Structures are given as structure tokens and as C-alpha cells.
């Protein structure tokens, strides 16, 4: 995974359902094991925290 494909911590994203989120962390960068895929930890304005693999994140999110 190239770093330029990773969202920046603190960046704002909009889900396909219209809700906005802030990227908090990028997880599992150091692992090469497919059991631990690179994932994005992000938080909605209501405080809920979510995690998606990088591939799933990009399927439904658009940077704002």
C-alpha cells in the first residue's frame, strides 16, 4: 500500500449516505499479514467511531 493512497489523519470525508466523518487513525500499517489489513478509524459528528479496511473505506467515502 502506497502512502499516497492513505487518507490523512484529521481529513474530512463524506459517506455516500451524506454523513460527514473525520479520519482519526490509520491502523495496521506495519503488518504485512493479510489477517490484519490496513484500516481507517474514523469518527462521526455524533461521536460514534467506525473502522473499515482501506478498500471498503474508499468504496463509500469521498473527501470534502
Residues 32-56 pLDDT 10s = 888 899 999 999 988 999 999 999 9
How many Å from the N-terminal Cα to the C-terminal Cα in the chain? Answer: 22
Calculate the average pLDDT of the chain.
91
For residue 4, the model assigns a pLDDT of 56
Residue 59 half-sphere exposure, CB side, CA atoms within 13 Å? 6
Task: Map out the domains of the chain as residue ranges.
Answer: 3-63
**Nearest Cα to 39, choosing from 12, 6, 16?**
6
Whole-number Å distance between alpha carbons of 35 and 43: 23
Amino acid at each position: 500500500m502506497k502512502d499516497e493512497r492513505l487518507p490523512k489523519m484529521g481529513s474530512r470525508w463524506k459517506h455516500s449516505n451524506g454523513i460527514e466523518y473525520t479520519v482519526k487513525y490509520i491502523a495496521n500499517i506495519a503488518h504485512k499479514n493479510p489477517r490484519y489489513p490496513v484500516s481507517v478509524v474514523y469518527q462521526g459528528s455524533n461521536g460514534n467511531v467506525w473502522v473499515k479496511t482501506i478498500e471498503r473505506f474508499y468504496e463509500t467515502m469521498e473527501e470534502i
